[in-house]
Structures are given as structure tokens and as C-alpha cells.
């Protein structure tokens, strides 16, 4: 427990200043780096760590795609009418095609060495990771003026804080009131009472924060309350999904980067689906104005 607490404190001391003071492009770059580590963790989890060429292609696809997004946001004001800038937006699609072809090649050329069911699952996990960390990088750039201000945007804080609040409140709710198991075969420690406390508590915390920061109007607060609860539910399912994958492949943690906590995916398992959901919700004009 002491190791977990120390690791959490150190991680927060590193992450919070980056979010508050680093430019948006730097914050997005951090998520590109974290996404690269997460991809490697999935390769290791599935048992394909020795397929160096495949995970190198996958990592380059993720990091360069996010890099192109950062470059687009940073350079758009000055170079938007340049011919080469138009080709920049095509790079992510090109990288996606290369990655798909790499997995097809691996399935055919290495069909005796690589079980196809694991390869297909890894392919899905790669895209899940890529979409998730691209969403986090996008939230860092959301609302920024061409990437020249800090990456501490409201949508990014929401994506990072809601899973943490939901998990913390679920832990204490389950500790004091938990009796019935939520998914005993997937995560034995989670309880229904804990999940209810985490979801409802997240809605209440969101209302308090939003009320003090912006407005105490009834309708926005109701929207914030139910919206936060929906994102809390999404975070719980993200956590359970990551646990399903670990149990399927018989691993305890995705990595050892954070002592007492595991790897990147052990820390971002519930954050990724929340970030993806937020990216979709921000397409709704009302939600965008609300944040």
C-alpha cells in the first residue's frame, strides 16, 4: 500500500505541472509517448513481444498520427494554404493503411508461429489504444489557440478526473457498504454497492465543481449530473474490459512502469473509454458550450 501511495504522489507531482504549465502540443506529445508504451504492453500481454517489426510499425503509426495532429494544430494559422500542409493531413491515413497491411502480412507469413486468434485480438487492442490516446491528445488540444496555450483544457480534466473520482468513491463505497459482487469472475473485489456509490458520487462531485466554477442553474446542473454519471459508468466498463483481457491471457498487470500500480494500461484502462466518449459528446454543440 505504501508503494502505491508513493507512486501515486510522484506521478501526480509530475503530471499536474505538465498539464498546468506545458503548452498543448507538449501535453499531446506526452499522451503519444504513453500510447506507445501502452501498445508495447499489449504486445507483451498477448505474447508477441518478440515480433519487434510489428510492434515498431504499430508504435510509429500511433505516435506519428498524433504528431501530425499536433503539427496541424500548431502550424495551421501560418501554413494552412501551403501545398505541403495539405499532404500532412493525409499522413495518418497512410500510416493506418501501413499498419493494416503489416498485420495482414504477419497473419499470412507467420501463420504457423502467431496464433491467428491472438493476432486478431491484438489488432483490435491496438486500434482501441490508438483511438484512446489520440482522443486524449485531441482533448489536450481542444479549445487551445493553435496549440500555443497550455493543454489543461476542461475536457481533458474531465477525462482524467472522472475515472479517478469514480474509482476512489467506488472503493470507499464498496469498503463500507459492499456486499454483492459486481462481476466476481472478472474483478472479485468490485461490488454493486461500490459501483452505485462511485457513479452517484461522481455525479454529485461534478455538480459541486461545476456549480462553484460556472453556474448553479438547474438545467445545466442536471445535465452535468447525468453526464458525469454516464462517464463514470463508461469508466467502470473500461476497467472491467482491461481486466477481461488480462484474465484471458493470464497476466496480473500490463507492465511494471508504476511500482504498485502496474503499467500504463493499468492506469489508463478506465480513462481511455471516457476520452473516446467525450470526443463523441463534444460533437454535440450544447455539450461543447457546456464545457
Burial of 181 (0-12, 13-18, 19+ CB in 10 A): middle
Q: Which regions of the chain does DSSP assign to beta strands (E)?
A: 181-183, 187-191
Over its length of 291 residues, how does the chain's per-residue pLDDT go in tens digits? Answer: 567 677 778 778 888 888 888 888 889 999 999 999 999 999 999 999 999 999 999 999 999 999 888 877 776 656 655 666 667 778 888 888 999 999 999 999 988 889 999 999 999 999 999 999 999 999 988 755 444 566 678 889 999 999 999 999 999 999 888 889 998 889 888 999 999 999 999 999 999 999 888 878 888 899 999 999 999 999 999 999 999 999 999 998 898 877 777 899 999 999 999 999 999 998 888 777 777
The domain spans of the chain are 22-150, 153-291
Full-model pTM: 0.90
β-bridge partners, 150: 23
Let me know how long the chain is.
Answer: 291
Chain center to CA of 127 = 12
Buried b (16+ CB within 10 A) or exposed e, 26-41: bbbbbbbebbbbbbbb
> How is residue 260 annotated by DSSP?
T
> How is residue 110 annotated by DSSP?
T
Residue in the block written with cell 456549480: 211
* C-beta neighbour count of 239 within 10 angstroms: 22
Amino acid at each position: 500500500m505504501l508503494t502505491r501511495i508513493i507512486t501515486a504522489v510522484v506521478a501526480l507531482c509530475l503530471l499536474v505541472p505538465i498539464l498546468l504549465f506545458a503548452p498543448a502540443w507538449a501535453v499531446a506529445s506526452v499522451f503519444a509517448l504513453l500510447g506507445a508504451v501502452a501498445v508495447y504492453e499489449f504486445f507483451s500481454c498477448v505474447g508477441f513481444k518478440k515480433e519487434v517489426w510489428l510492434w515498431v510499425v504499430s508504435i510509429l503509426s500511433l505516435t506519428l498520427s498524433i504528431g501530425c495532429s499536433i503539427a496541424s494544430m500548431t502550424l495551421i494559422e501560418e501554413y494552412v494554404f501551403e501545398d505541403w500542409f495539405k499532404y500532412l493531413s493525409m499522413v495518418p491515413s497512410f500510416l493506418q493503411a501501413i499498419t493494416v497491411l503489416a498485420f495482414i502480412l504477419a497473419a499470412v507469413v507467420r501463420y504457423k508461429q502467431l496464433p491467428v486468434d491472438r493476432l486478431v485480438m491484438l489488432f483490435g487492442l491496438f486500434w482501441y489504444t490508438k483511438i484512446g490516446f489520440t482522443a486524449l491528445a485531441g482533448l489536450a488540444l481542444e479549445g487551445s489557440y493553435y496549440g500555443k496555450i497550455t493543454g489543461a483544457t476542461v475536457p481533458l480534466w474531465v477525462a482524467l478526473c472522472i475515472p479517478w473520482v469514480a474509482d476512489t468513491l467506488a472503493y470507499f463505497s464498496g469498503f463500507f457498504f459492499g456486499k454483492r459482487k459486481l462481476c466476481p469472475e472478472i474483478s472479485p473485489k468490485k461490488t454493486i454497492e461500490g459501483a452505485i456509490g462511485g457513479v452517484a458520487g461522481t455525479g454529485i462531485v461534478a455538480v459541486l465543481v461545476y456549480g462553484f466554477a460556472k453556474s448553479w442553474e438547474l438545467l445545466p446542473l442536471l445535465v452535468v449530473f447525468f453526464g458525469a454519471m454516464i462517464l463514470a459508468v463508461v469508466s467502470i466498463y473500461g476497467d472491467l474490459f482491461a481486466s477481461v483481457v488480462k484474465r484471458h491471457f493470464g497476466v496480473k498487470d500490463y507492465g511494471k512502469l508504476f511500482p504498485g500500480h502496474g503499467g500504463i494500461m493499468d492506469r489508463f484502462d478506465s480513462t481511455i473509454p471516457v476520452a473516446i466518449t467525450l470526443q463523441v459528446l463534444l460533437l454535440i454543440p450544447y455539450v461543447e458550450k457546456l464545457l
